[in-house]
Amino acid sequence: MKKQNRAMELYRFISAAMILCYHCHWFAFRETETAFRGFYLFVELFFILSGFLMMRSVRHRVTAADRADPAGATVRYIRGRLRQLYPHHVLSWVLVAGIQIYLLKNIWPIQVLQIGWPELLLVNIFGFVRGEYINIVCWYLSALVFSSIVVYYLILRCEDTFIKVVAPILLVVCYGTLFDRAECLAATILFTRYAPHLGFMRGLADLTVGCLAFRAYEWMEDVKLPGEAVLSTLLEAAVFLTSALYMYRCSSRYDFLFVPLFFAFVISVFRGRSVFTHLFDNGLSAWLGRQSYAYYLNNIVVIYPYMYLFPESNIWAMCWFCVPACLLVSVVTGYGLKKITW
């Protein structure tokens, strides 16, 4: 297995750009426009990919000592993840707060910490402050951290039991609850009377799907399928392009059906047999993939100023501006963070 799959890095960045288009729809045009309204589903690809890589990390990096101390190993894993992601989160949060205080003037400085402390500490999925937010998109990072704690610990505790027993139960309970309470995956970031947040259940379920995808990939690793280059090329094109076309206009309870499609997509890309994998396996893809988390967290950093400066704009002009602008902001902030010792 390759140490790094650079084609998947490109897909991850494209997914982040599509999520930005969804946020343009949500923050500026959800009352008047249907374009991009289903692109929130690419968050599922982020979660599933994280679960896949988590299981790969367990297989290749976890030692017998780690399995003997699952709690300690989990703490070390999460600490490493936060060391990588938290600086980007804090910087994007500060930038959005500054935009709201000094540009939009819709919040007082004293309110920033009153409203935003759960986001800053990444505990916002538990609904300590309801209905108010600074950088709401960081719900994903909060859900990722806490669901990763649960899944990683359970894997180390007893991997076979998790895969064969716990994982199927988690999927039924989590997706069943999400379907029953929200009827679609988009409505899971708003706090409900359930604790913890439904976004946590979304992350928990999707990470579990990613873990199962790795186990399926591992099982298939030495299997040679006739005509796989053609089949995998068609599969990846069908999943990514038809998903995007469907989600461009549609958003409904059927969005749960995209989870197994992304499951198959991730396995196919990591097997590396398709034309796209060879075409996109390059340094540019790897570089773009490294920007994806900062890109996601900086969505509102570019959306709010655009809405302020161009209130009469349409959604297409907004997306054409914000997609490259967010990349520029992410590159600059990422460079700045490298100069800081955390």
State pLDDT tens for residues 38-96.
Answer: 898 899 999 999 999 999 999 888 888 989 999 999 999 999 999 999 999 999 999 99
What range does the domain containing 274 cover? 6-338
- Examine residue 184 and state whether it is found in any structural domain, yes or no: yes
- Examine residue 129 and state whether it is found in any structural domain, yes or no: yes
Distance CA 161, CA 309 (A): 55
State pLDDT tens for residues 257-298.
Answer: 889 999 999 999 999 899 998 899 999 999 999 999 999 999
Distance CA 129, CA 300 (A): 19
Distance CA 316, CA 338 (A): 33
**What is the band of 251 on the pLDDT scale with cuts at 50, 70, 90?**
low
Tokens for 60, please give them: 């290749």
**What is the band of 302 on the pLDDT scale with cuts at 50, 70, 90?**
very high
C-beta neighbour count of 132 within 10 angstroms: 13
- Examine residue 14 and state whether it is found in any structural domain, yes or no: yes
Please answer whether residues 85 and 293 qualify as being in contact, where contact means their C-beta atoms are separated by less than 8 angstroms. Answer: yes
- Examine residue 1 and state whether it is found in any structural domain, yes or no: no
3-state SS assignment for residue 123: coil
- Examine residue 303 and state whether it is found in any structural domain, yes or no: yes
148 has pLDDT over 90: yes
Query: Lowest mean pLDDT: which of 30-44, 133-147, 172-186, 230-244?
Result: 172-186
128 has pLDDT over 80: no
Mean pLDDT across the chain: 89
- Examine residue 207 and state whether it is found in any structural domain, yes or no: yes
- Examine residue 187 and state whether it is found in any structural domain, yes or no: yes
C-beta neighbour count of 140 within 10 angstroms: 21
- Examine residue 20 and state whether it is found in any structural domain, yes or no: yes
Number of domains forming the structure of the chain: 1
Question: What's the gap between Cα 54 and its chain centre?
Answer: 14
Distances (CA, A) of 312 to 20, 107, 183, 322: 19, 23, 33, 15
Which DSSP symbol is given to 101?
A: I
Which DSSP symbol is given to 330?
A: H
Alpha helical stretches, state H, 99-194: 109-120, 139-157, 159-161, 167-181
**What is the band of 4 on the pLDDT scale with cuts at 50, 70, 90?**
low
